[in-house]
Amino acid sequence: MSLQPIAVFDSGLGGLTVLRALRSRLPQEDFFYFADTRFLPYGDRPEIFLKERGVLIAEALAQRGAKALVIACNTATAAAAEAIRAATALPIVALEPGVKPAVGLTKTGVIGVLATTRTLQSERFERLVGNHAAHLKVIAQACPGLAEAIETQGPGSVEVERLLDLFVAPLVAAGADVVVLGCTHYPWVAESIARRMPAGTPLLDTGEPVARQLERLLAAGNLLGGGVGSLTIASSGAPAAVSVTVDRLFGQKIHVEHWEP
């Protein structure tokens, strides 16, 4: 069993920011990364669509031989994590915006959260804020179009910069002193976000804690190790286009195969 790969999925290549942390903590594991680019962006899709799609993907990954699943997408977690857990017996790590660690860091009592519309409108997010940050001011800023612009036009592009001007300004105006990167695409533009915030503002992503949680889960199930550190990247969209984006974001040529769950 431990010889099988760990499956990681996202709507696109945002989850590669999580994968980086997973591979650095668990270098002996093999990974299968699935980018559902045919349906990118997830952020504006109805919850019911994301539930059905998430369950379909998880079942297909289990059938393909994955030993564990990381939902490397805040939007898919918000909409579908419970349905996916109910549908498969795989050990699952689902990530959510780092509101909890932000609570311990803020001095102004104002936390900024950047995420997709679907994530911020979810019950799960409402619960997260209600349980941990009810006493604080949480500026939840939806960023429609940003994940797609990062993926199709790249960090530093005119469109990404334009959108960041729009979405980061309300956090600055409200006096936020911590920014939660509540979408796995946003760490790709962390520097551009940091430049717009007061110097030294912490930007929180969830790669590290997710890697630690995955390690605990694998250890508990006696599933650690056995791989050689291999990585396969697959996409439901055109592999050639995805491959160009992988090169741009990862700075490394990695073969991308087509896979349809």
Shortest separation between residue 18's beta carbon and ligand DGL, angstroms: 9
235 belongs to an annotated ligand binding site: no
User: Which SS3 state, helix, strand or coil, does residue 145 take?
Assistant: coil
17 belongs to an annotated ligand binding site: no
Tell me the β-bridge partners of 93: 70
| Residue whose C-alpha is closest to residue 125's, from 146, 170, 95, 101 | 95
Shortest separation between residue 46's beta carbon and ligand DGL, angstroms: 13
**Binding stretches for ligand DGL (CB under 6 A):** 10-12, 14, 40-43, 73-75, 116, 119, 147, 183-185
DSSP 8-state symbol, 104: T
**CB–CB of 31/19 below 8 Å?**
yes
For residue 83, give every residue at least 6 positions away whose Cβ sits within 8 Å of its Cβ, in sequence order, or none: 51, 54, 55
Closer residue to ligand DGL in complex, CB, 119/141: 119
14 belongs to an annotated ligand binding site: no
33 belongs to an annotated ligand binding site: no
Shortest separation between residue 120's beta carbon and ligand DGL, angstroms: 10
**Angstrom distance (rounded) from CA 55 to CA 47:** 12
Shortest separation between residue 123's beta carbon and ligand DGL, angstroms: 16
185 belongs to an annotated ligand binding site: yes
**CB–CB of 177/201 below 8 Å?**
yes
143 labelled catalytic? no
Closer residue to ligand DGL in complex, CB, 7/183: 183
Torsion-angle region of 42 (φ positive above 0: left; ψ -120 to 50: alpha; else: beta): alpha
Of 66, 183, 193, 249, catalytic: 183
Closer residue to ligand DGL in complex, CB, 141/184: 184
Closer residue to ligand DGL in complex, CB, 11/227: 11
**Angstrom distance (rounded) from CA 38 to CA 156:** 24
CB atoms within 10 A of CB 242: 24
Residues identified as active-site: 73, 183
Output the known binding site for substrate. 10-11, 42-43, 74-75, 184-185
